[in-house]
C-alpha cells in the first residue's frame, strides 16, 4: 500500500494480490512499475560518488532520520529505480551529489537534503591497511624485545658459573701462609738463621770441647 495514495484511496495490500501467473489476476492492470532493487545490508561504504550504493543507512549526518522517499515530491521515484520499495535509505539518485544523501524533516516539516555519514570504501581500505601495518610492527618489536631478554637471562648463569670456577681453582705457584717462614730459615743472613747461630754458641760455652 502506498504511504500517501493509500490514505485517500482504498487500495488493496500488495501481498494480498494474486500472483502474476494466476487466473485470478485477469482483472488486474499492470502499470509497468519496475521491481524495487534489493537492499544490501552488508554495504557499509560507497565507491566513487555513491551512485551504486544500496546499503541500509537511513540517518543523516546530523543524526536525524531520513524521511521516506515516497513522502517527498522534489524527485520523481519513477525516474530513479533505486528509490522504489518504500524505504528511507541513503541514495544518490542521478549522481546529483558527491555522496549518498537523503531528505530530513526540518522543524517546519520542510524536507531538506542532507549528506549521510557513510565512509568511502577507499578510506576504509586504507584504515584496515594502516591498522594491519601497526599491528605487525608491534608484534615484531615485541618478538625482538623478548629475544633480547631471553639471551640476557641465559648469559647470567654462565657468567656466575665461570666466576665460581675461577675462585675455586688456585695457582700452584701461590705460597701458603707459613712457607715464607720456612724458606727464610734457610736463607743465610736472615733473622731466623742468626737466632739459631746464637743458640749454638751458648751451647758451646756450657759444654766446652
**Contact predicate 58/114, CB 8 Å:** no
With 70 as the cut, is the pLDDT of residue 102 above it?
A: yes
Please tell me the distance from the alpha carbon of residue 90 to that of residue 99, in angstroms, as a whole number: 9
Alpha-carbon distance of 186 to 179, in angstroms, equals 11
Q: Are 35 and 111 in contact (CB under 8 A)?
A: no
Could you report the per-residue pLDDT of 28-70, keeping only the tens digit for each?
A: 666 666 778 899 999 889 999 999 999 999 999 999 999 999 8
pTM higher than 0.85, yes or no?
no
Q: What angle do helix axes 191-206 and 179-186 make, rounded to 10 degrees?
A: 60
pLDDT score, position 178: 46
> Which pLDDT belongs to residue 124?
59
Write down the pLDDT at residue 78.
81
The CA distance from 104 to 74, in Å, is: 13
* Contact assessment for residue 189 and residue 182, using Cβ atoms and an 8 Å cutoff: no
* Residue 183 contacts residue 192 (beta carbons within 8 Å): no
Question: Which residue matches cell numbers 542521478?
Answer: 94
What band does 99 get if pLDDT is binned at 50, 70 and 90? very high
Amino acid at each position: 500500500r502506498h504511504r500517501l495514495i493509500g490514505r485517500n484511496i482504498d487500495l488493496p495490500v500488495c501481498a494480498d494480490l494474486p500472483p502474476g501467473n494466476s487466473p485470478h489476476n485477469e482483472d488486474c492492470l499492470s502499470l509497468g512499475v519496475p521491481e524495487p532493487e534489493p537492499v544490501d545490508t552488508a554495504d557499509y561504504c560507497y565507491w566513487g560518488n555513491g551512485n551504486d550504493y544500496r546499503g541500509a543507512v537511513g540517518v543523516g549526518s546530523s543524526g536525524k532520520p531520513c524521511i521516506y522517499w515516497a513522502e517527498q515530491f522534489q524527485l520523481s521515484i519513477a525516474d530513479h529505480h533505486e528509490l522504489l520499495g518504500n524505504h528511507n535509505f541513503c541514495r544518490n539518485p542521478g549522481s546529483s551529489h558527491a555522496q549518498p544523501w537523503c531528505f530530513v524533516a526540518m522543524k517546519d516539516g520542510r524536507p531538506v537534503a542532507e549528506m549521510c555519514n557513510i565512509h568511502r570504501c577507499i578510506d576504509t581500505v586504507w584504515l584496515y591497511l594502516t591498522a594491519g601495518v601497526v599491528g605487525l610492527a608491534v608484534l615484531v618489536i615485541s618478538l625482538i624485545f623478548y629475544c633480547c631478554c631471553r639471551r640476557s637471562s641465559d648469559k647470567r648463569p654462565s657468567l656466575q658459573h665461570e666466576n665460581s670456577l675461577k675462585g675455586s681453582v688456585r695457582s700452584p705457584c701461590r705460597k701458603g701462609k707459613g712457607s715464607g717462614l720456612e724458606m727464610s730459615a734457610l736463607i743465610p743472613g736472615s733473622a731466623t738463621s742468626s737466632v739459631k747461630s746464637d743458640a749454638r754458641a751458648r751451647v758451646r760455652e756450657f759444654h766446652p770441647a
